[in-house]
Structure 1
Amino acid sequence: PARPGRYLDVEATLAALAPVVTHLAPAEVELVVREIAPPIADAEPARAEAEMLLAGPLTLVLTDPREGDPGPWILPPEQLATMLVVRAEGEELHVALDEDALRAYLEELVPTLAIEPVDARFHFNDGTGQLEPISPSQEGRALDVEASLERIVQELAAGNRYVPLVVQAVPPRYPDTATAEELGIIELVAEGDSYFIGSPSGRDHNIRLAASKFDGLVIAPGETFSFNHYLGEVSAEAGYDESYITAGEQLAVEVGGGICQVSTTAFRAAFWGGYPIVERWYHHHRVGYYELMGAGVGMDATVYSPHVDFKFVNDRSYPLLIETEVEEAAHRLVFRFYSTDDGRRVEKEGPVISDETEPGPPIYQLDEELAPETVIQWQSAVNGLTATVERRVYDAAGNLLYHDTFVSKYAPRRAAYHYGPGYEPPGE
């Protein structure tokens, strides 16, 4: 219970002493003591509030959970006790939840509950000039921390210990109801292609799978397109097969071999579309597939997630729709870009070839599993060289927008052979 305090009233005591001191005789003077009333006379409201807040666990739930969602989140009384604060209001003490502590708890749930919205994917119908959805859009979700905090405080005050969190729907940028006119996706503005004739089955499969990751994408104005971002995981679990990749001086077998056919084709579409290219890497060696059908050397783009990427910027005022297609008979991969043509024009110069170098002597490797004296060539020799390609992009009025120089320095590659027991390689 509350008890009053006391203090010595110095001034009153001195006043009582004054007449006694002047007589210079022994005397008793009673000290003047004042009583101090306790500032908080009644702590009962605080006790009742604390008991109510700690009467049981607090359970937080999602009203419309999706498959795989976490929860519920149960805060036992012991945890709630660490979030209580005591405040004086007039002559009474009150206990409440510390909103800063509860807010910090809710903010930890934000990434757990966040779901990114999914844009629709489209094809452009050249006959009707309309967009046709090929995969639907999906709303995202975000935890509303402040609204959830307010609801928890209100519900606890009302004696409710089972509280639904407040989540907000996050709309996609491009819903499946979007039209060509609304987005300004009304015509073909660029195209890039490459050929993969003669590709092994694993490489052929990987090209088709990787190309499908980009079909129907809509890239926002000002957005930097990242090939690796939209490509996603490259693994056997993601459906990719093993095939040859360029690795140093020799070819190697790895899951995902052939994906660079897709990045090369995307690069060519961005090149001819006049889009600013902010990241492009050439291969260590020349790759014959990328020079088929007169494509010329120096027009490839290698990728190796997550370190080596291909990126360009959609610098137009309208979204950019990407379509991919594999033409079966020709083994031709095509990237088509649809948007609104702003009249820009692209000029290419080159490739200018320099620093051509011949490869060294062939490489021979023993393979105990081959038949005796058998020799198999598995890698052909390729000259090294430097290829320089220039691009100039002009606007509709003929003003120069961009002048790019793409320099590709390809190393020579030696021929390589596997041989069985009993064979003696030349020079040994």
Structure 2
Amino acid sequence: MNKHFTFGKHPLVAALMWVAIIYGLALAAYGATRWASAGEVMGRVEVEGVQLGGLDRELAIAEVVGVETELRSRMARFSLNGETVTLNPAEVAFDIDEEAVIEEAMRIGREGNAVSQFLWWLSHIFSSETVELRGSVDPDALDEIFDVWDTEVIASPAAHGAIVIVDGRPSPVYPQPGVGVDREVATAIILDTFLGGSSHNAALPTMPVIPALTENDIDLALDEARRMLSEPIRMTYDGLEAIFTPEQLTAAFRSDTVLDGTPRIVQSFDPEVIDGYLAPIRSLFEAEPVNAEFVIVGDDITIQPGKKGTRIDEEETALRLYQAGLTSSRLGRLPLVEDADPEITEEYLESLGIEHLVSSFTTYHACCQPRVNNIQLMADTIDMTILMPGEIFGINEFVGERTAEKGYLPAGTIVAGQLKDTVGGGVSQFATTFYNAVFWGGYEDIEHQPHSYYFRRYPEGIEATVNWRVPELKFRNNTDKAILIDTQYTDTSITVRIFGSNDGRIVKGEQIHGKTHIEVVSEGGPNALWVEGIVSSRFARKDPPEPKYVANPDLAEDQQVEVQGEREGWSVRVTRRILRGGVELVEEQEWLVTYFPQFAVIEVHPCKMPEPEVECESSTTTTEPPS
């Protein structure tokens, strides 16, 4: 029979095993907690009773902001010189440093080696650790509060010495010792109270205040003030003069007692008051900024740089008045400084890429007619207009309605087949000239309408008319650079030029004596756009209709006047191709242009009308139209 022997475990070994198991479980729990708390406040950490443990940085900051809001809402009370004073934390810009508080909270439990971190976690499973608040107040705002308390609560303030204006003259205030708030200690007490570390009604200490300035310091400042204000001060610039009277100088005088650093009296003139005296005279001295602009000479375009505006610097003027007031001449120089940049700078115009003349076209007319006034007025309105890449330009949209108030005159307009005077008439010649500059420049035709009747002063087929509001003439700047529209005229001609960038290619054209002339002035580089324009032969010809007779009682019975000649009608086909390096860039464009036949308009005596309503006085009458 086999026998098995067992040995009992020693109690100490069993206890150690249980301890090991417990610590193993604790380590596992600690590891899981550390992993879950990555980027969060560890364990049980609080501020002002608010738990931050388990919160990420953003949420923890939000909790601290909530604490700050609560603390800022509490009115603090203090004891000063036997009286109770109150202070609103918001008045002195009380602020908690949330970032510093959260940094401290995030460090807790993560400092030291792994063993110390584990032991901290173990010891704070059921207890919390408090993070102290850190905050600040605005020292300047608090100083203003202390000044009030010194004067109204302690009621024995020190006089540090000053220069004041009494009855229009500088007068001294000599130094006197007094009692005031111990500002350094009081500031610490107030901040600690705001942060919740001190009880309300904490006593604020006072201290004797001994002025740092002497009576001699005040006498020296008084002498300086009297010299500053004694007589007028003259300020000159470029032959012009501005005079500041003693009354004006006194109104602008400022004297400040400075205790920081070396105690002293600082005297000056207030720039804001001086600026008020400068306002009425600025236009005499200052210059507005001048914009940069394009300058066209012949067919060349350049940029004339702009200039900054100049203005009188009131700050520097106040300083120079102070300096001049201490001299025997009492004379200074007005400081004009470069101020505002022009709205349009040279750099901006360069960025537009307008480099050379691209296309131009000229048409001719008789001198001195009312329609010439209208053509030139429209040209002036459009002259030097800049179009950005992709921008659409329409003559009617840009110029607006042609009215007598704008200077337009009655001139010929085609109305129901007849030429009649309307205000602003005759501008179709400008439209045709404009259209040809666009056509031969290769720009995108958005909208145009040729004339109903043909006129020899216009290129056949390649022409356009406008009237208010229709027909309209529109085109698009379909290049990647800006373009500039330039207009020129003489008594007998109108020219439209377009400046832009077409790799140096320049095309110029004109319509003269009924013929169109197109000249390529410069072939340009390999990236230049080439425009081909072809007008077909006339087809679909139509004879003019019967004449139209108009009664004119001022004519003799045997007299007739042709006020409008007859014309035949026909059609042509216009084709435009745009190429670069021989390759067509856009689909070939084609327009069918039809000119209507036009009847003659003949004025006759009323008795010679085809259906007369009166009889002729002569013995011979006829119902037939006169030949």
Range class of TM-score, shorter chain: 0.5 to 0.7
Q: Distance in 2 between matches of 1:303 and 1:133?
A: 37
CA-CA distance at 1:235 after TM superposition: 1.2
1:336 aligns to 2:497 (yes or no): yes
1:228 to 390, 393, 396: 396
SS in 1 for 2:376: helix
Aligned residue in 2 for 1:207: 375
Q: Distance in 1 between matches of 2:454 and 2:416?
A: 12
Aligned residue in 1 for 2:442: 274
Aligned residue in 1 for 2:362: 193
CA-CA distance at 1:199 after TM superposition: 6.3
Q: CA, structure 1 residues 368+200, in 2 after alignment: closer, same or farther (shift >3 Å)?
A: farther
Paired residues of 1:220 and 1:320 also in contact (CA < 8 A): yes
Aligned residue in 2 for 1:319: 482
Aligned residue in 1 for 2:542: 357
CA-CA distance at 1:345 after TM superposition: 0.3
CA-CA distance at 1:121 after TM superposition: 7.1
Aligned residue in 2 for 1:182: 351
Paired residues of 2:487 and 2:497 also in contact (CA < 8 A): yes
SS in 2 for 1:267: helix
Q: Distance in 2 between matches of 1:302 and 1:218?
A: 22
* Structure showing the higher helix proportion among its residues: 2
CA-CA distance at 1:281 after TM superposition: 0.5
Aligned residue identity for 2:624: G
Q: CA, structure 1 residues 399+408, in 2 after alignment: closer, same or farther (shift >3 Å)?
A: closer
Q: Distance in 2 between matches of 1:382 and 1:224?
A: 36
CA-CA distance at 1:128 after TM superposition: 6.7
Aligned ranges 1:82-97 → 2 under 5 Å? none
Q: Distance in 2 between matches of 1:323 and 1:132?
A: 16
Q: CA, structure 1 residues 244+200, in 2 after alignment: closer, same or farther (shift >3 Å)?
A: farther
CA-CA distance at 1:225 after TM superposition: 1.1
Paired residues of 1:123 and 1:133 also in contact (CA < 8 A): no
Task: Give CA deviations for 1:30-61 in whole Å, capped at 9, x if unaligned.
Answer: xxxxxxxxxxxxxxxxxxxxxxxxxxxxxxxx
Q: CA, structure 1 residues 213+402, in 2 after alignment: closer, same or farther (shift >3 Å)?
A: farther
Paired residues of 1:180 and 1:186 also in contact (CA < 8 A): no
CA-CA distance at 1:271 after TM superposition: 0.4
Q: CA, structure 1 residues 180+378, in 2 after alignment: closer, same or farther (shift >3 Å)?
A: same
The alignment's TM-score, normalised by the length of structure 2, stands at 0.39
Q: Distance in 1 between matches of 2:566 and 2:454?
A: 10
Q: Distance in 1 between matches of 2:300 and 2:597?
A: 50
Aligned ranges 1:371-382 → 2 under 5 Å? 371-382=556-567
Aligned ranges 1:124-143 → 2 under 5 Å? 124-126=296-298, 129-131=301-303
Aligned residue identity for 2:550: Q
Q: Distance in 2 between matches of 1:383 and 1:121?
A: 49
Q: CA, structure 1 residues 120+315, in 2 after alignment: closer, same or farther (shift >3 Å)?
A: farther
- Percent of pairs identical after alignment? 29
Q: CA, structure 1 residues 245+316, in 2 after alignment: closer, same or farther (shift >3 Å)?
A: same
SS in 2 for 1:206: helix
Aligned residue in 2 for 1:306: 469
CA-CA distance at 1:208 after TM superposition: 1.0
Q: Distance in 1 between matches of 2:359 and 2:624?
A: 52
Aligned residue in 1 for 2:624: 427
Aligned residue identity for 2:573: T
2:419 to 228, 238, 251: 251
Aligned residue in 2 for 1:66: none
Task: Give CA deviations for 1:157-202 in whole Å, capped at 9, x if unaligned.
Answer: xxxxxxxxxxxxxx99x82656653321110111122222x36611
Aligned residue identity for 2:580: D
Task: Give CA deviations for 1:244-264 in whole Å, capped at 9, x if unaligned.
Answer: 111222222211111111111
Task: Give CA deviations for 1:230-249 in whole Å, capped at 9, x if unaligned.
Answer: 22221111111111111222
Q: Distance in 1 between matches of 2:477 and 2:396?
A: 16
Q: Distance in 1 between matches of 2:574 and 2:481?
A: 28
RMSD of aligned Cα (Å): 2.9
CA-CA distance at 1:398 after TM superposition: 2.6
Paired residues of 1:383 and 1:411 also in contact (CA < 8 A): yes
SS in 2 for 1:269: helix
Paired residues of 1:185 and 1:339 also in contact (CA < 8 A): yes
Q: CA, structure 1 residues 372+239, in 2 after alignment: closer, same or farther (shift >3 Å)?
A: farther
Aligned residue identity for 2:363: S
Paired residues of 1:280 and 1:311 also in contact (CA < 8 A): yes
2:457 to 281, 284, 289: 289
Q: Distance in 1 between matches of 2:573 and 2:415?
A: 23
CA-CA distance at 1:365 after TM superposition: 0.4
Task: Give CA deviations for 1:118-171 in whole Å, capped at 9, x if unaligned.
Answer: x9974433587413599x9xxxxxxxxxxxxxxxxxxxxxxxxxxxxxxxxxx9
Q: CA, structure 1 residues 231+397, in 2 after alignment: closer, same or farther (shift >3 Å)?
A: same
Paired residues of 1:371 and 1:421 also in contact (CA < 8 A): no
Question: Which stretch of the first structure deviates more once superposed, 369-378 or 241-250?
Answer: 369-378
Question: Relative contact order (alpha carbons < 8 A, sep ≥ 6): 1 or 2 greater?
Answer: 1
Paired residues of 1:124 and 1:132 also in contact (CA < 8 A): no
Q: Distance in 2 between matches of 1:121 and 1:233?
A: 28
Q: Distance in 1 between matches of 2:367 and 2:300?
A: 36
Give the paired residue count: 266
Bigger Cα Rg:
2
CA-CA distance at 1:209 after TM superposition: 1.0
Q: CA, structure 1 residues 178+321, in 2 after alignment: closer, same or farther (shift >3 Å)?
A: farther
Question: Which stretch of the first structure deviates more once superposed, 254-263 or 368-377?
Answer: 368-377
Q: Distance in 2 between matches of 1:127 and 1:408?
A: 32
Aligned residue identity for 1:418: E
CA-CA distance at 1:287 after TM superposition: 2.3
Q: CA, structure 1 residues 317+125, in 2 after alignment: closer, same or farther (shift >3 Å)?
A: farther
Q: CA, structure 1 residues 214+424, in 2 after alignment: closer, same or farther (shift >3 Å)?
A: same
Q: Distance in 1 between matches of 2:603 and 2:355?
A: 54
Q: Distance in 2 between matches of 1:184 and 1:307?
A: 33
Aligned residue identity for 1:411: F
SS in 2 for 1:337: strand
SS in 2 for 1:237: helix
Q: Distance in 1 between matches of 2:368 and 2:609?
A: 30
Q: CA, structure 1 residues 392+373, in 2 after alignment: closer, same or farther (shift >3 Å)?
A: same
Q: Distance in 2 between matches of 1:411 and 1:347?
A: 27
Task: Give CA deviations for 1:41-82 in whole Å, capped at 9, x if unaligned.
Answer: xxxxxxxxxxxxxxxxxxxxxxxxxxxxxxxxxxxxxxxxxx
